[in-house]
Amino acid sequence: MPPQVERIIGRLRQGGFEAYAVGGCVRDTLLGRQPGDWDITTSARPEEVKGLFTRTVDTGIQHGTVTILMDHVGYEVTTYRIDGEYEDGRHPKQVAFTSELVEDLKRRDFTINAMAYSHETGIVDAFHGMEDLEKGVIRCVGDPLERFGEDALRILRAIRFSAQLNFTIEGRTYGAITQIAPNMARVSKERIQVELTKLLCSDHPEKICKVYETGISVYISPAFHALPWEGFRVLPGLSAEKYVRWGAFLRLAGPEAAVQVLKDLKLDNDTVNRVRTLAVWAGKEIPAEAAGVRRAMSGMSPLVWDALLDLNGCGEAIRRLTAEIRERGDCLDLKHLAVSGQDLIEAGIKPGKEMGELLQRLLELVLECPQKNERGTLLKEAGIQGIKL
Ligand code: ATP
Ligand code: MG
């Protein structure tokens, strides 16, 4: 447990309250994985939590959450709560605070996510989460139909955790997933996207096929459902960047379908643009000669090019050419052309479409033959004579 978490729990206890590390951090620590963040659950009410610490942020007071800043890191401290009835399968309409830890653990989604820990008590495991961790099983806390009925996102979380941890989904839990799948239509696309991104960036991205097999995909979006699921293959050794994993998943769909899926799921523009480029070039033969490689590289950022080499399984020859092009610093875009738009204006060419085409023509020349990236040569090519060089 990080010392900051010990300090927070210690101070809450000194104040006369109960406090525990809870959820994902307990699960990950038991598995020997690095927890993403440390969440704390306490019997103290938000106002009482705020009274014990100097630097706090009201992140979700109405849900009982106060963030405590310690050494520039935020730790979420949430009051024990019972989630009220769920509105439209999304948000609890109201939450009620409780003084019982086990009531708070009961509202959590899976047994492996429903354990708490403090030095004083050791692990509090009311729902046999340890046993399921050992067996490698994702199992709902309580009745799976009821729990998925409260919040359909949990069915996607089940698949996401099974991909991150390489766990199987317990039989009744799996059955309930297929039954509650239609409720996914009412879950917000942003929440769905977060889970799918985590799934694709996990050690087992191939488990995304479960989203299709369980009958969920059709309730996510038409473009998503229409993806070529049968042909999906994992590519080994890909970096776990968001655009690389989405690109690998969508590369066989074609650029238009890929972009539609990402827009449906409200992914950010950077990811959409990178994946569009990857889908355009996926499977295209890139000739193993310098000019062809430069032409291809000129159409995308260095990061996207590197991802494309991996996605297309490009061999040594193209990788070596890439390294040489970068070492020499061959010009690959208008920014690095030896002649700028300003130069052409000074030479009397009017800015506009024609000038753009001229610059493009000069760039193509330089991609073909990098030695020509020289002011005099390019101006002569542009048909401009008698310029002071
Ligand atoms: P990670 O942060 O690695 O993605 P996590 O388990 O910490 O995994 P969070 O989404 O951060 O997941 O949620 C923290 C905890 O809150 C979970 O471990 C679980 O106990 C509970 N929880 C989160 N989302 C839900 C949900 N939709 N329904 C029920 N409990 C949930
Ligand atoms: Mg977390």
DSSP assignment of 48-105, as one string? HHHHH-SSEEEEEGGGTEEEEEETTEEEEEEE-EEE-PEETTTEES-EEE-S-HHHHH
For ligand 1, atom 11: residue with the closest CA: 24
Q: What is the mean pLDDT of residues 299-304?
A: 95
Ligand 1, atom 25: nearest CA belongs to which residue?
A: 109
pTM: 0.92
pLDDT higher than threshold 70 for residue 90: no
Query: What is the amino acid identity at position 196?
Result: L
Closest CA to 192 of 225, 152, 230: 152
pLDDT tens digits, one per residue of 335-347: 999 999 999 998 8
Distance between CA atoms of residues 203 and 132, nearest Å: 20
Binned at pLDDT 50, 70 and 90, residue 385 comes out as low
Find all residues with CB under 8 Å of 178, minimum gap 6, and list them: 214, 215
CB of 23 sitting under 6 A from ligand 1: yes
Q: Quote the ligand 1 centre to 238 CA distance (angstroms).
A: 26
Residue identified by tokens 């046993």 is 131
Ligand 1 atom closest to Cα of 25? 7
- Cβ 113 under 6 angstroms from ligand 1: yes
The yes-or-no verdict on residue 19 having pLDDT over 90 is: yes
Distance, in Å, from the CA atom of 4 to the CA atom of 69, rounded to the nearest integer, reads 9
Q: What is the pLDDT of residue 87?
A: 62
Pairing of strands 81-83, 137-138: unpaired
Pick the residue whose CA is nearest to atom 30 on ligand 1. 108
Quote the CA–CA distance of 305 and 234 in Å, as a whole number.
19
How confident is the model at residue 387, as a pLDDT? 53
Q: Is the CB of 207 under 6 A from ligand 1?
A: no
Q: How many CA atoms lie within 13 A of 180 on its CB side?
A: 25
* Radius of gyration of the CA atoms of the chain, in A: 28
- Compute the mean pLDDT over every residue in the chain, rounded to the nearest whole number: 94
153 C-beta closer than 6 A to ligand 1 = yes
CA of 69 to the centre of ligand 1 (A): 21
Report the nearest atom of ligand 1 relative to the CA of 108: 30
Percent of the chain with pLDDT over 70: 96
Report the distance separating Cα 201 and Cα 163, nearest Å.
Answer: 9
Interatomic CA distance for residues 189 and 261, integer angstroms:
11
For residues 110 and 40, what is the distance between their CA atoms, to the nearest angstrom? Answer: 17
Is the pLDDT at 231 greater than 90? The verdict is no
Q: Is the distance from the beta carbon of residue 151 to the nearest atom of ligand 1 less than 6 Å?
A: yes
Give the Å distance between the CA of 113 and the centre of ligand 1: 7
pLDDT higher than threshold 90 for residue 188: yes
pLDDT score, position 1: 94
Does any ligand 1 atom lie closer than 6 A to the CB of residue 36? yes
| Stretch among 80-89, 144-153, 301-310 having the lowest mean pLDDT | 80-89
Lowest-confidence range among 37-46, 135-144, 162-171, 227-236?
227-236
* pLDDT exceeds 60 at position 238: yes
Extract the tokens encoding 290. Answer: 């310098």
Closest-CA residue, ligand 1 atom 5, reads 24
Share above pLDDT 90 across residues of the chain, in percent, rounded to a whole number? 86
- Average confidence (pLDDT) over 346-356: 88
Query: String of b and e for 172-207 (b: at least 16 CB within 10 Å)?
Result: ebbebbebbbebbeebeeeebbbbbbbbbbbebbeb
Least confident of 25-29, 144-148, 358-362, 382-386: 382-386
Distance 166 CA to ligand 1 centre (A): 17
* pLDDT of 389 above 50: no
Residue 369 CB coordination number (10 Å): 13
Q: Residue 295 in contact with residue 322, Cβ under 8 Å?
A: no
Using the predicted structure, report yes or no on whether residue 89 has a pLDDT greater than 60.
no
pLDDT at 327 over 60: yes
